[in-house]
Structure 1
Amino acid sequence: MLGSLQLSPATSQSLVQPPESNSTVAEEPITPIPEPPAIDPLKIKLGERLFGDPRLSHDNSRSCSSCHDLRTNGASLKSQDVGIDGSSLPLNTPTIFNAALNFRFGWEGKLRTLESDAKAALENPEVMGVGISALAEKLGADPDMHREFMAAYGSGPDAKNVVDALASFERTLVTPGSRFDRWLEGDEAALSTEELDGYRLFKSLGCVSCHQGANVGGNLFERHGIFHPLASPKPEILRVPSLRNVATTPPYFHDGSAQTLDDAVRKMGLAQLNSTLTDQQVKAIVGYLQTLTGNYRGAPVGPSP
């Protein structure tokens, strides 16, 4: 989903204004992505190995990376990914990139920590369908895996440290270095005039009332479809998604019903702002959103092939 409830009036903004000064940048409602916390590199390495290990599913058929592709956008191109039983999952898979910066996890925000989110995915019969104690026993039977757990935790795999290793790795999956972050940090040449116009519209139209902070969202709940229907009516209340790397993560909304960013912006304007955005406004806002694409391990986050 691109966003949720916006209550600010849909005021227009001139598309020709001088760049903000550095003092104004310091007061912006969006902040650059912070550095990841200091974590034991052995735990990170182990978590990365687990993230790509199909043994985390009960039938050894899929790993976390099956739905969260770290080589591309941290998600997939599907409106709904397929469950372990072959059925469609009920909601679009959000990207794992920058998920650690969210205040709650999952579209409905029912989970409060990365650890609880990882545990829920492992135990969900539609996703991985594995008992964590049984998983720990399966991993412990692998001598190499057992040695890695001993090095990182001083003991073999168990229900707690399997989840902790996954969460430790996921906390490193941040994507700094976007052009917009460079602009926030004082590089006035990082954005074009049209991209700055798009950011001003993003603020003046009210989008920033829900999409703000380091993750450009992810820090409050809102109702969707305030003025007009937006997507599938259920769930009614959602955690506002992050817009980081949004240009790389189609399709959009919790049901994956918007196939392009242009379409998503138009629908959000009408459903949440009761505003029919002009082609010029949509182009400018999309241009701004494209500047939110950051880097993972030195390379720009890219769309799925």
Structure 2
Amino acid sequence: MPPALRGMDEPITPMPPAPALDPRKVTLGERLFGDLRLSRDNSRSCLSCHDISANGASTRRHDVDLNGAELPLNTLTVFNATHNFRFSWEGKYRNVDADVTSSLVNPRIMGSDLDTIAHKLNHDPAMRAGFFAAYGRGPDGDNIVDAIVNFEKTLVTPGSRFDRWLEGDGAALSSEELEGYHQFKSLGCVSCHQGVNVGGNLFQRHGIFHPLAAPDPAILRVPSLRNVATTPPYFHDGSAPTLDDAVRRMGQAQLNATLTDHQVKAIVAFLQSLTGQYRGSLVGGEP
């Protein structure tokens, strides 16, 4: 098979570029993503937990709520999130609009409501002008959410070395990384982590053979492994501090396999090749 057709025969497909969207809505959505007025007490923005200058999430095991108490689940990265089939660890939300809205109104996360946010923004002449340019009207609940959704759709990270290999560049991966990909497939990791997001498209029970992490929630939406080398700590409870530890524990808990050091090293090398690019730079500054 010609190298250019390699991706057609693999269970993982390359990450496409960001879709063509109205730049006025995208620009407005980016402004909103970093706007503290979206929170009840003007203390935090979406960027507070989803740092797009780094890994699209945070480095905490658990981010904290408006009162400083730890949130129950580790923060998922916002990069490539719009390619998931459901949203949140438990897959509670069926579309990006619902996911964005839930974060804005959740009393522990942003703790606000759409009418209050619109009222705040309507008092800002520059923000009003931005909304009129993009939507022909001032800020309201619908267009606030829509602008953020438009921005989130651009938070994709194509251009990983693995993507380049899928697209026909035979020199993009080392022999160790290729062996790691072979192990990833032959051991069965790919049965849950496949598709464009290397996951994110089905639900699965964790701890099938052995305990993996905190027992609840028992069934989770399988997370994407895109940029996974940049997003420690791992698992829904953030209990795996390193990728090495996460791979070993996943092998034991999900596959009933005690992986050798050689297997773990190769799989980790493959996973590191999944780091893509955002705005011309590698996510998280990873090699």
TM-score class, shorter = over 0.9
1:6-45 equivalence runs, <5 A = 22-45=4-27
CA drift of 1:35 comes to 2.2
Residue 262 (structure 2) pairs with residue 290 (structure 1): no
| Higher RCO structure (Cα 8 Å, ≥6 apart) | 1
Look up the equivalent residue of 1:218 and give its one-letter code: G
Tell me how far apart the structure 2 counterparts of residues 32 and 242 of structure 1 sit (CA, whole Å): 13
| 1:272 matched residue in structure 2 | 254
| 2:32 matched residue in structure 1 | 50
- Equivalent residue of 1:118, what SS? helix
Residue 224 (structure 2) pairs with residue 216 (structure 1): no
Structure 2 residues without counterparts, runs of 5 or longer:
none
Look up the equivalent residue of 1:64 and give its one-letter code: C
| 1:194 matched residue in structure 2 | 176
Tell me how far apart the structure 2 counterparts of residues 124 and 200 of structure 1 sit (CA, whole Å): 42
Does structure 1 retain, via aligned residues, the 8 Å contact 2:158–2:278?
yes
Structure 1 residues without counterparts, runs of 5 or longer:
1-18
Residue 127 (structure 2) pairs with residue 145 (structure 1): yes
1:1-305 equivalence runs, <5 A = 22-302=4-284
Identical-residue share of aligned pairs (%)? 67
> Size of the alignment, in residue pairs?
286
| 1:7 matched residue in structure 2 | none
| 1:8 matched residue in structure 2 | none
| 1:6 matched residue in structure 2 | none
Q: Deviations for 1:120-169, whole angstroms, at most 9, x for unmatched residues?
A: 00000000000111110110110000000000000000010000000000
Q: TM-score, structure 1 length as denominator? A: 0.92
Look up the equivalent residue of 1:74 and give its one-letter code: G
Q: TM-score, structure 2 length as denominator? A: 0.98
Q: Deviations for 1:162-199, whole angstroms, at most 9, x for unmatched residues?
A: 00000000000000000000000000000000100000
CA gap 1:24/1:38 in 2 versus in 1, 3 angstroms: closer
Tell me how far apart the structure 2 counterparts of residues 53 and 251 of structure 1 sit (CA, whole Å): 27
CA gap 1:31/1:276 in 2 versus in 1, 3 angstroms: same
